[in-house]
Homo-oligomer: A and B are copies of this chain.
């Protein structure tokens, strides 16, 4: 009986952990293959065990189920740790995408991908959520692709006041698209 219960508790714990949101009693009972009262008893027990310790993680009983989250008293340290990662130096891939956008804006994703030769969706997304790159509407072309440009925050992070202050790309040595308006060099629309 005992190991059986601890396995069910383990499963409940794993489910609550992996789900970012509250998990309902119905769902838990269904997955754990228990009737609702038993499931509730087990969840309450799990909650007590978690919350008794002076632990970093707690289980909250909410209206619509249970949710695992950090204890409020550690919010400061959690924030600090996550904040640090937020401001870690950008990855090489992120820097490259940012550079291509900065020197050629406004650009479509497919333009960036054509220049870099690799898929850039994830990187563009994370640059957008970091506030360094922003959407600038859509191109009036088939597929109406989104176009991107850099933000004022981007200038601030670089410590420059205008895009004109970016290190100039030399003629001849570098690709010419940095200097020309981009209108004519949009890559052909692709299905991807």
Residue ranges of A at the interface with B (Cβ–Cβ < 8 Å): 3, 6-7, 9-19, 21, 23, 27-28, 30-32, 54-57, 68-71, 73-74, 77-78, 80-82, 84-85, 91-93, 118-119, 125, 129, 135-138, 146
Given A32-B77, A119-B125, A125-B119, A82:B15 Cβ within 8 A = yes
Chain B residues near A77 (CB-CB < 8 A):
11, 14-15, 31-32
CB of A19 within 8 A of CB of B92, answer no
A91 CB contacts on chain B under 8 angstroms: 135
A15 touches B78 (CB 8 A): yes
Query: For the complex formed by this chain, how many copies does it contain in all?
Result: 2
Enumerate chain B residues within 8 angstroms of A93, measured Cβ to Cβ: 135
How far is it, in angstroms, between the C-alpha of A33 and the C-alpha of B125 when the chains are bound?
33
Report B-chain residues with C-beta under 8 Å of the C-beta of A12: 56
Alpha-carbon distance between A12 and B91 when the two chains are bound, in angstroms:
26
Q: Are B146 and A10 in contact (CB under 8 A)?
A: no
Most chain B C-beta atoms within 10 Å of own C-beta, residue among A32, A69, A84: A84
Contact of A27 among B81, B119, B136, B146 (CB under 8 A): B81
- Residues of B near A28 (CB, < 8 A) are 81
Known: A18-B81, A19-B81, A23-B81. 16 other contacts (CB 8 A): A3-B54, A10-B54, A12-B56, A14-B71, A15-B56, A15-B82, A17-B70, A18-B70, A18-B82, A27-B85, A28-B81, A31-B81, A91-B135, A92-B135, A118-B125, A119-B125
CA distance A138 to B7 in the complex (A): 47
Which residues of B are found within 8 Å of A80, using beta-carbon distances? 31
By a CB distance below 8 angstroms, the chain B residues around A10 are 54-56, 71, 73-74
